[in-house]
A and B are shown apart, each in its own frame.
Chain A
Amino acid sequence: MAEHVVVLEGVVKQYRMGGHVVDALRGVDLTIPSGVMAAIIGPSGSGKTTLLNVLGALDQPTSGKVIVAGTELGSLTEAELTAHRRRTVGFVFQDYGLIPNLTALENVMLPMEFARVPVAEATRRARQRLEAVGLGHRLGHRPSRLSGGEQQRVAIARALANDPAIVLADEPTGNLDTTAGREIVEVLRRLVKERGKTAVVVTHDAQIAEAADVRFHIQDGKISQTR
């Protein structure tokens, strides 16, 4: 494991929107050590999600260097970027992003299906991940039969399916009430402490910001560390 699981050097991301160039990230330098929970806080439109997308290889920066878990993403082919998303990072979304016609167990097995993990092993691992987030009794439930907090815990279990080095969460408590949000923060804390994962959480939530080991503030595409 690299000492710093995330290293960004001079990362710029520009979008073209209606003939105008929008600067979403303006020369971001950032390092996040492994095994911590990092919170990135900022107002809407500040570039939080863009930063997360760049870290997760969902988007390519216009310029600059992005190194995640020791791999410089700019040098990877499309297939290698797919493999990076499959093996090195796990995503948690604000709207959970679960597949509605699959059960909790099948949703967690899906990333392992993409990674060609044998079905028996994938089933065992998915069951284990769901039990770890307290959903061992909800394996056969579809998302529509789960509460928001339960759906988000399924999403966290899915993010951990292929044992990634880093979990990227975009407003994971944004759709939840305070109690369910607190539970999610607790689950994220546990996966950092007990499993040594690195969690990078983009949020408005003061609970998460408070619980984070390191905290960054982003505004107008520029980032600064506040803790």
Chain B
Amino acid sequence: MRLLLLGVRNVYRNHTRALLVVGVVALSVALFVTMSRTGAATAREARELKARAATRIEVNEEGNTSGYAGTVTAELLPADVSRVQALPHVVKVERYVKRQFVDNRRTPPTGVLIGVEPGATLRLQSMGGFVGSPRLLEGRAFAPDDAGKPVAIVGTAFARSRGVRLGDELALPGAEVQRGKWIYPHSIQDLRARVIGIFEVRVVYADNQVFVPLDVAQGVMALGPGRVSQYIVTVDSAENVPAVAAALKATLGPAADVISQDQTAVQTAGALEAVSRASRVGAAVAAAAGMLVVLFTMALVTRERTREIGILKAIGASNRNVAQLFTAETLALAVLAGVLGSLLYAVAGRLLGAVFLGLVGGERTGGIRYVPEPEALAQGLGLAVVFGLIGSLYAVTRAVRLRPSDAMRVQ
């Protein structure tokens, strides 16, 4: 047991080198954890997106694919929803209304106001359609009794540009919505609502979106009772999607655009998969770099202490004793770096992740949260232990192979 302690103490024999090595290896551990978390999260997000896209059909009022309603020529009527729900293989129909709003004095100037049934999925809209679901940074999601109440969940860009925080009342003038709607003849009312949640996806346009309860949005947009701009139809299995899409077209006629393959989601999933692959390669490179630093350091240490190894053997150390000393030293060095690397991840993981995502073009992966959960810290420490065990192999092998008389000839 004391021998292990002596091995640990050997780490501090050269303070400068120990600090340098621990620092570099800690950075590689932090990068590894950040990138592997990014890789896992983006892969999961891509899988979920694909799975959802595979069984989902988007139905928009004709000409409105993203709230950019300049060419809207028809609306989805209240009676339509019950006809859609009655179709075979339809599991769920979620209803949305969406309208763009524009204020050129703000950054970003355009956003989307989205009405959603409390309990339904919050779906962000982009110029190309659905971009994903936001995760709340603060506050809460809609509850069933929020129906009809002036409450809102807003993105960080919206909150920042309007100076609103959780619990504040936001004001969205009807004129802004009217401007985004261009030719639609309804008169748009001002929206006043209390902010109950704030989300962030780090896509500026998506972060400038506002969710309110469906009936509140319908009132603001002066839509007829029960009229909506979008259905998201969930089908019981991917094989039945073509049949349901055909049935929807037949049922709704030219008033609706039926998009059976959520192309945007598929493209987004593809981009996420690319980020995931880049993240995993990055994690592997970070791990390999840390591993090499530990290996080279221990190779150097073993060479420097060749004569000492001879002396230890001369005064009675067995090969096992020498191996214990070097293994303990390498493990101590690596675990120290692992702890520091995990702390670095906990403190700066978000920054490291943002830098990495910026480099690989993964800004759309807003759902990743770089928080110091135990799993991530364990990952950092686990990697450090692997560094320690593999890093000690060369040192131990060389130390064990050295004959005492040969080792003692080295000055």
User: Residues on A close to B: CB < 8 A?
Assistant: 53, 56, 58-59, 78-79, 82-83, 85-87, 90-91, 93, 97, 99-102, 110-111, 113-115, 119, 158-159, 161-162
Assess whether A114 is in contact with B317, with CB atoms less than 8 Å apart. yes
Residues of B with C-beta under 8 A to A161: 315
Residue on B nearest A97 in the bound complex, by CB? B311
Is B405 in contact with A110, judged by CB distance below 8 angstroms?
A: no
Q: Name the residue on B nearest A91 (C-beta).
A: B314
B404 within 8 A of A: yes
In the complex, chain B residues whose CB is within 8 Å of the CB of A99: 308, 311
For the complex, give the distance between the alpha carbons of A114 and B316 in Å.
6
- Residues on the B chain within 8 Å of A93, using CB: 311, 408
- In this complex, the member of B3, B9, B317 whose beta carbon has the largest number of chain A beta carbons within 10 angstroms is B317
Total number of residue pairs linking A and B with CB closer than 8 Å: 67
Cβ B9 vs Cβ A101 within 8 A: yes
Q: Report if B106 contacts A (CB, 8 A).
A: no
The answer to whether B314 touches A58 (Cβ under 8 A) is: yes
Q: Is B261 an interface residue (CB 8 A)?
A: no
Contact, CB under 8 Å: B2 / A53: no
Known: A99-B308, A100-B13. A110 touches B318 (CB 8 A): no
Kindly identify which residue among B3, B316, B403 contacts A85, using a CB–CB cutoff of 8 Å: B316
* Interface residues of B, Cβ cutoff 8 Å to A: 2-3, 6, 9-10, 12-13, 307-308, 310-319, 321, 403-405, 408
Provide the residues of chain B in CB contact with A59, threshold 8 Å: 403-405
Q: Which residues of B contact A58 (CB under 8 A)?
A: 310, 313-314, 403-405, 408
- Residues in B with CB closer than 8 Å to A90 are 315
**Bound: A102/B319 CA distance, A:** 20
Q: Is B13 a contact partner of A110 (Cβ separation < 8 A)? A: no
Residues of A within 8 A of B318 (CB): 79, 82, 114
B-chain residues with CB within 8 Å of residue A56 when the two chains form the complex: 314
Q: Is there an interface contact between B2 and A119, defined as CB atoms closer than 8 Å?
A: yes
Contact (Cβ within 8 A) B313 A82: yes
Alpha-carbon separation in the docked complex, A162 to B315 (Å): 10
Please, which residues of chain A bring their CB within 8 A of the CB of B317?
Answer: 82, 114
CB pair B9–A85 under 8 Å, yes or no, is: no
Closest CB-CB distance, A57 to chain B, in whole Å? Answer: 9
Q: Can you list 27 A-B contacts (CB < 8 A)?
A: A53-B404, A53-B408, A58-B310, A58-B313, A58-B403, A58-B404, A59-B404, A59-B405, A78-B319, A82-B316, A83-B316, A85-B313, A85-B404, A90-B315, A91-B314, A97-B308, A97-B314, A99-B311, A100-B13, A101-B9, A101-B10, A110-B315, A113-B3, A114-B318, A115-B316, A158-B315, A161-B315
In the complex, the answer to whether B12 meets A91 with C-beta atoms within 8 Å is: no
Instruction: Say whether A111 contacts B315, CB under 8 Å.
Output: yes
Write out the residue numbers on chain A whose beta carbons fall within 8 Å of the beta carbon of B12: 101
Chain A's closest residue to B11 (CB) is A101
Asked if B315 contacts A91 (CB within 8 A), the reply is yes
CA distance A110 to B9 in the complex (A): 14
Complex Cα distance, B13 from A99, in Å, reads: 11
Min distance, Cβ A77 to any Cβ of chain B, angstroms:
12
> Looking at B2, B312, B319, B404, which has the most chain A CB atoms within 10 Å of its CB?
B404
- A113: B residues at CB distance < 8 A: 2-3, 6
> Which residues in A have their C-beta under 8 angstroms from that of B308?
97, 99
* B315, A114: Cβ atoms closer than 8 Å: yes
Task: Enumerate the 4 nearest inter-chain pairs by beta-carbon distance, A residue then B residue, closest first.
Answer: A86-B316, A59-B405, A97-B311, A114-B316
Name the contact of A101 in the complex, choosing from B3, B13, B307, B315 (C-beta under 8 A).
B13
B1's nearest neighbour on chain A, judged by CB, is A119
Which residue from chain B places its CB closest to the CB of A86 in the assembled complex?
A: B316
A-B contacts besides A58-B403, A82-B318, A97-B308, 11 pairs, CB < 8 Å: A79-B318, A83-B316, A86-B315, A87-B316, A93-B311, A99-B308, A100-B13, A110-B315, A111-B315, A113-B6, A114-B318
Task: Please judge, given known A-B contacts A58-B408, A101-B12, whether A111 and B311 are in contact too, CB under 8 Å.
Answer: no
A53 & B3 in contact (Cβ 8 Å cutoff): no
Alpha-carbon distance between A97 and B310 when the two chains are bound, in angstroms:
10
Nearest chain B CB to A211's CB is how many angstroms away? 24
**A161-B308 Cα distance, complex, nearest whole Å:** 18
Q: Which residue of A lies closest to B322 (CB)?
A: A114
